[in-house]
Structure formats: structure tokens, C-alpha cells
Chain A
Amino acid sequence: MHPAVEFRGISKQFGAVKANTDVSFSIAKGAIHGLVGENGAGKSTLMSILYGYYRADSGDILLDGQVQSIHSSHQAIALGIGMVHQHFMLVENMTVLDNVMLGAEGGFKLAGQRAGVEAKLREICARYRLDVDPLATIADLSVGAQQRVEILKQIYRSANILILDEPTAVLTAQETASLFEILRLFKEQGKTIILITHKLQEIMDITDTVTVMRGGKVVGAVQTAQTSKEELANMMVGRPIENNLPRAAYNPGQPVLEVRDLELRDDNGVTLLNKLNFTLRAGEIVAIAGVSGNGQSELMEILSGMRLPTSGDLKFEGKPLPGSDPDRGRGDADGLPRTFRELGIGHVPEDRLRDGVIKGFSVMHNTFFGHQDDKALKNRWGLIDFKGIAERCAGLLQTFDVRPANPDLRIGLLSGGNQQKVVIAREVLANPKLMLVGQPTRGVDIGTIEAIHRQLLALRDAGMAILLVSVELEEVRALADRILVMCGGGITGELKIDEFDTTRIGLLMGGMHKS
């Protein structure tokens, strides 16, 4: 039997960058195939070539033993290739049914087709246990359900080869489990799946075969059963990965941040944060664990000054934080992040592309973003001291190993991991007393994760107070001194790191703190 997909000597070059060099491997029919590698290893380029976004400079793609030249995604779809992107391609205010029909309409008049398509969708949902209502509006669906709509769309278009790009990055543990159930059903039906992910545990859990890429080349092709997470990680990075990073003994100092009865309600009166109480001391990392969307983002926004709480007291180094003092009224959060930053609160935001960087600015211009009003960055004319900043930037790029180390490149062209290094470096350089760190390694590759973790531990050892929000329990375990678990806007439990217990944290994350 021919393999479902075979890559033969694929090479692709962008300017001076060799994204793919002589990539050859094949994927058996009915297999779940993992594709792993660090950011910039060439996985996305390869998949874009398969899906017809790019054309390879040389090499062939064989589908079912036939050489195919794929010019467009339209053609890829016709050949039975489906792709579920990391960022969903859905129209939020349309129904599932309309989203599925969009681009696959059978003619000018839609009315007559709807019933037929709806019946077919219900049939597909039943067969693959997708649990999606075809008449629901996308905006009302959870992230997991939206992803199932994407999958539904591909099945409806009779995809036999399904590419999933980082499908679990936005999913909860339960949603991930149910996604994997769906993928297994797919496999039973003889369909082929290509899974791109950073999470090696998922590779071990679900794939049959794995291809590891590094620097645009294939560095390993193995049966999943015959490898281990460690071996995969070492192949990806090209060197052994340290799991237990060294840290100084736990020796917390003065309280830096005190949160008392913090409450937040939205405009409709819905409670988003419910009576939060905790203290953060110098020299400790407190991690907030929880399924995303349980109030962590709102808490970080309040602590960084981007949003005002409804009630409650916030004290920073024993003094009330501006905008949080109920006696003086709450006013407006406009401009408040600057005040907080000047007090000594650093903030690595969860969504770096939305909040943390300006994509259209150069790397150098992003290295002082948020600190543009610092006196130290100005020359005697009161203008920005670009000479000093250029020197500072060069040092920063080297110290934090940002690649490529080109200060004039638009930061949007850097990989996610390298953008994150710039953001962390920028916040670290301001030497804050409290650092708020949201999802520091989301979409970041293993080698960079290790570097970021080392950096955060070094800051803690140096006496900085760090509040970490992470949905990755591995990360919480690697960094935290204490763990607060959040669910439904409240803190459901607290653990010390030596009490770390995945089951107990899982229960607390589900809100079952009484049992």
C-alpha cells in the first residue's frame, strides 16, 4: 500500500533563510503522525507547502503514490487535504451551518441546500461524536466546540488527510481528551492525521509515528512506541534538556503585594473575581493554576493597572495602589499601567501580540515599549536617546539570545519564542520589585522554555516577587514556590510546592475543593 503522504527532497528558501532543506519522510494511511520541532524548525513551512500556500523550490509531494503539484489551498482541499489552523477561520456571528457552507456552497441559492447540509452535518456529528449543534452561533460556542466546528468543516469537505496545527494550545485538559477521542475515531475510519504540537506528552499519548525537525531538516523519524519524551526533546533541541532547574532555598522576604477581598464584576453585574485574598513576598514565585478563563486574566489586568477592580484593597510594598483605594473613588484605568510600572511592577502580558508588542515596530523600538517616558532613556533635549537605546538593545539581544539578533527587524517577523524573549528582557531590564508573568511559554519551543524558566528562577533568587499565571501544570511545578488554584473567579485552594499533587490540583481546578 502507498503511504498517504510522502515528501521527497522538499527544499524551500525565503531570501537567505532556508526554511526546508531536503525534507523527506512519509506518513502511512490511517496513521496519526506527530510533527515536532522548535519554532522556526520548518514545520509550518512544510505544511504550508502541502496545503498549497507555498510552492517548494525543489522536491515532490506524493499523495497515495501519485506525484501532485499543489498550487493552491483550493486544490489541496480537492485532493482531500484539510487543515485546522491554530487560529480558527470562523465567522463569529454566523451559525455552524453557515460557516461550513461558506466557500462550499452548491450554487447561488442557499435556502434549498440548508436542510440537506444540516442533515449531513448531524450525521457526521453522530458518527464522530463531535457534539456540535449545526444551528448554534459560533460566538456562543466554547473554544473547544469552535475547534470541533473546524474539524467538522474539514470532514464535510471530505478530507482524508487532516493537518492540525497546535490544536491543544487553547484547550482545557478535558477538551484535549475529547479531541483525542475524535482523532482516534478518525483513525479507525482510515483517515490520516498530521499533528503539529509542542507538547511531547500529547505526541506520546496519541501518535503512531513521529518526525522531528530542526533547522529546516528532518533529524529523526521514529515509531512513537520506541521513543520517549526525553529522547524527542533532545532531538528537537540538539542537546539534553534539564528538567529540574537549580534554585536557591525558599526564603521569602517582606510582603510585596497584598490582595484583600478583591472583587470584579462586569457591566452586567456578573462576578468575574470573587473575594480574592493572598500575599506575595519578595523572593518567591506564586503560581496561579487553573483552566484558562477562570479569572486569571482579569486578575493580571487589575494588578498591572490595565483594569480597575470593583472593590477590594491592593497594597504594594505596604501602600495602597492607585485606583484601588475605595475612599478616593476609582475613576479610569487610562494611563494607570504607566503609574504601576513606575512604582516597580513589571508585566509580561498573557497575549503578547495584543498587549505586549507593537508588531509594526522594530525589535529595538519594542525594547523600551511601556518605558518610553523613563528619564533614563532621554537625551538632554528631552528626546528619545536612540544612541543609548541601540547599545542597550544590542546587549539585550545578546544576553537573552534573541534570534535573529537584528534590532531593525520588525518584531512581527520574529518567532513567538523570540518575541517573548524581547518582552521578558524588556521587563527584566526595568528591574521591577514585582513581576507579573502571564503564560510566559505559550507557543514557545522547548529550548526557549528552559531559558525563560532559568531567567525567572534567577530573578526569584535575586529577591524579586513573581506572580505567574500558567495553565501548564508542568510549568507550575517547575517554577512555583506556592500554588494558588483558581476556579470560577475564586481561589479554591493553596498548596506548597512540596505538596504538589496533580490529582488534587485537578480537583481544585474543577472547583471541587470541599471533597
Chain B
Amino acid sequence: MTTNDMPRWATGFVLPVLNLLSALLVAALVIHMLGEDPVDSLRILVGSAILNPEGLSYTLFYASTFVFTGLAVSLAMQAGLFNIGAEGQMYFGGLGLTLAMLAFDASLPWWLLIPAGILGAALFGALWAFLPGYLQAKRGSHIVVTTIMFNFIAASLMNFIIVKYLIPPGEQNTASRVFSAAAEMPRLNAWFPVLGETPLNIGFFFAILALVVYGVVMTRSAWGYKVRALGLNQHAAHYAGVKISAMIIIVMALSGALAGLGAVNSIMGSTHYLSLNFVGGAGFIGIAIALMGRQHPVGILLSSVLFGALIQGGFDLSLEKPNIPTETFIFIQGLIILFCGAMENLYAPVIVKLAKKG
């Protein structure tokens, strides 16, 4: 019994929703055991993350970053490559962006600085994924193993670079200097004052644009067709004339570039400096998003918003409910990965049975 027997509306919509509900149900059970009311907690969560305009803007701000890491993992997944390294790639992308800013933020105007930052982030992210891609294509080193290792290498390397070179003299904070105001991406509260003190910036539109481009390329272009063929059947892809090793390298580099772009929203849109561990798990959340969104642009967007809402709502929840620690979010995230990734076909037999009867 596989998902192949199932109609598309079931695999694309019903299953993810059922899996998500299962994860939330288990989370509710745990919240109950912590001595808090799950229904009330859900009310706080939704109120804080969705209904309140300022909260919603935070949700969308987090989602803008997650869209890029989710796209990074999704693109590689379409080619049959499990890129676990979006975390390190985004971290390294942040370095590329920062180097570009430190070099130019005094001299260039904002409309050149933003593209420069984007380019720096994409290039460095691509480089960090190119190496595992090359090793997979030419040397057969498994991408899962190498990208995990590259996460650790990135963490150590960035630690070294930030501490040794980027901390301004006399500062204690493990971060680069703050960029000039010209390097700040315009925030949306300039046009929508209702959003309040929000970090939500035009990076959100970049994320939507990236989703659209990704969707068109994957489903409408010959290149996307070849990527998907490679992911489904490498032998047949070879028969069809796909350059397998070149394709693996290119897809990984692009995947890394997308992950690197995640840094644009979180650095140029919000903090305006590079700090230690600024990625904060966004790369790993990208894996969950790609699995839950089934590598579909709409799915990636919805999952990104969901994870953004969980973070935003989770903060307020832990403030209002002292028994619920902030780690609860990580716990719920783990449940979602468990239900949507590892056990994604848990309900498939039931759906197949119902579909047959109907």
C-alpha cells in the first residue's frame, strides 16, 4: 500500500493536515501533562502569531527566512539529494553578505548594497554546498554525511573568523560591527504602520518571488524536468542524456545559494550585523518545511508560515504560561518532523480504503 494508489488531493492536502493535527494532538497532551490548558494555550498561540497584526508580521518575518532554507532543501530533494547542510550554508552565506557590507556599506548607495549583499550570501552559500556536491558527484561521498560534517566545519570556522577578525576592537559581543543605515532593507511598517515595531521587510517579497521562480522552473522548464527525472531514477536520467555529475554539482550549488539567501532577510532585514550562531536552526527547520510542504511551492510557503507562527506564538506562550518552557517549540517542531517526515504515510492505508469506498 503506497501513496501511489492515492488521489493527488489526498497526498497533497489531506495527509499533511492529518499528520500536522496528530503532531499538535501529542503536543496538546504534553501541555496538559505540564499542568496547563491546551485549548487556552492554542488560543494564546494563534492570537499572538496570527490574529495580532504585529505578531503576524513577526510570523511572516521568520517565514521569509524559512522559505529560503525550505527551498534549498526542496530543490536538492527533487534531485534525490538529501541536503542536511542548509544550516551551515546559510551561516556561510551570512559571512559572504557581511564581507560585502563591510567592504561597501560606506561607499555604495542602498540600491547597490542590497544586490551586493544578496550576491555575497548566494555565492558563499553556493560554495559551501558545492564542495559536498562535488564530492558526491566525483568521489561518491554520501551527501548526507558530508553536509552534516560541513555544518560542524562551518560552525567552527565562523566562530574562528568572527572572534579573530570581525569583532571590532574593544567590543566584547561576538559579532561584526553594525552596518551603515544604507545597508538596511526597507521595512514594511513604513507603508503599513499597523504592523508596529516589526522586522518584516521586503525580504518577504523576495521569498514570494523565489517560490514563484522555483515553481515555474521545476514544473515548466526542461532543466526542472531533468532534475526531477534524476531524483526519481538515475539510470533513466542517464538514458535521457542528463549529465549526472554536473547536475548534482549544480543542484547542490543552487541549493546552497538558496540557503545562503536566508541570511539576507535575517541580517539585512533585522539585525544589521553578523553574530555568532545567528542561523539558530533555520537550516534544520528547512528540512522539516521541505518534507511537510512536499517540495511544492505552496506547501513550502504554508509550512514556513506555520513554523514562523510556532516560534512567534511560542515566545508569547512561554511568557504567559510559566509552566511551558521556550523549548516547547523545539519539541513541537520535532513532533511535526516525526509525523510529516518519518511517518508521512501513517494514515495512507485508511485514506486508500476510504477513497475506494467513495
Contacts and interface: CB of A to CB of B under 8 A. Distances in A.
Interface string B320-358: 000000000000000000000000000000000000100
Contacts of B244: 334
Contacts of A359: 232-233
Contacts of B246: 334-335
Interface string B1-43: 0001000000000000000000000000000000000000000
Secondary structure of the B side of the interface? helix
Interface residues of B, number: 23
Contact of B233 (A15, A304, A358, A386): A358
Nearest to A357: B236
Contacts of B220: 383-384, 386
A87 to B, nearest CB: 16
B222 A372 contact: yes
A506 interface: no
A339 B241 CA distance: 8
Given A372-B222, A372-B226, A412 B241 contact: no
Contacts of A377: 222
A341 B241 CA distance: 8
Interface stretch (A109-117, A119-127, A185-193, A347-355): A347-355
A358 B78 CA distance: 14
A306 B4 contact: no
Contacts of A347: 239
Interface string A162-206: 000000000000000000000000000000000000000000000
Contacts of A332: 245
Contact of B238 (A306, A341, A365): A306
B289 interface: no
A305 to B, nearest CB: 8
Contacts of B225: 365, 372, 384
A134 interface: no
Interface string B201-223: 00000000000000010001110
B239 A356 contact: yes
A356 B245 CA distance: 20
A360 B222 contact: no
A378 B243 contact: no
Interface residues of A, number: 37
Contacts of B233: 354, 358-359
B240 A361 contact: no
Contact of A354 (B226, B229, B235): B235
A15 B358 CA distance: 9
Nearest to A369: B240
A82 interface: no
Contact of A355 (B235, B242, B243, B356): B235
Given A378-B222, A382-B221, A384-B220, A354 B236 contact: yes
A15 B352 CA distance: 11
B136 to A, nearest CB: 14
Nearest to B242: A335
B236 A360 contact: no
Nearest to B356: A15
B166 to A, nearest CB: 41
Interface string A329-343: 000111111110100
Interface string B47-91: 000000000000000000000000000000000000000000000
A373 interface: yes
A356 B239 CA distance: 7
A9 interface: no
Nearest to B239: A355
Nearest to B355: A15
Given A359-B232, A361-B232, A384-B220, A335 B241 contact: yes
A410 B7 CA distance: 11
A322 interface: no
Given A358-B232, A359-B233, A349 B239 contact: yes
Contacts of B216: 383
Interface in A11-34: 15
A357 B17 CA distance: 32
Nearest to A332: B245
Contacts of B356: 15
A339 to B, nearest CB: 7
A333 B225 CA distance: 20
Contacts of A443: none
Interface in B128-187: none
Contacts of B236: 354-358, 369
B229 A358 contact: yes
B238 A412 contact: no
A349 B237 CA distance: 13
Given A365-B225, A410-B4, A370 B239 contact: yes
B27 to A, nearest CB: 33
A425 to B, nearest CB: 16
A301 B356 CA distance: 43
A187 to B, nearest CB: 37
A140 to B, nearest CB: 24
B241 A373 contact: yes
Contacts of B241: 305, 335-339, 341, 370, 373
A260 B317 CA distance: 77
A354 B235 CA distance: 6
Interface in B82-140: none
Nearest to B233: A358
B239 A360 contact: no
Contacts of B235: 354-355
B243 A334 contact: yes
B245 A372 contact: no
A336 B216 CA distance: 27
Nearest to B237: A358
A53 to B, nearest CB: 11
A373 B222 contact: yes
Contacts of B243: 334-335
A355 B303 CA distance: 35
A72 B297 CA distance: 41
Interface string A381-399: 0111010000000000000
Interface string A308-346: 000000000000000000000000111111110100000
Contacts of B226: 372
B221 A337 contact: no
Nearest to A378: B222
Contacts of B245: 332, 334
A80 to B, nearest CB: 27
Given A355-B238, A361-B228, A369-B229, 11 more contacts: A15-B356, A305-B241, A334-B245, A336-B241, A338-B240, A355-B239, A360-B4, A360-B232, A369-B240, A370-B239, A378-B222
Interface of A: 15, 304-306, 332-339, 341, 347, 349, 354-361, 365, 369-370, 372-373, 377-378, 382-384, 386, 410, 412-413
15 contacts: A334-B243, A335-B242, A335-B246, A336-B241, A338-B241, A347-B239, A354-B236, A355-B235, A355-B236, A358-B236, A359-B233, A360-B232, A377-B222, A383-B216, A384-B222
The 10 A-B pairs of least Cβ separation, nearest first, read A338-B241, A335-B243, A370-B240, A355-B239, A383-B220, A372-B222, A337-B241, A334-B243, A360-B232, A354-B235
Interface of B: 4, 216, 220-222, 225-226, 228-229, 232-233, 235-236, 238-246, 356
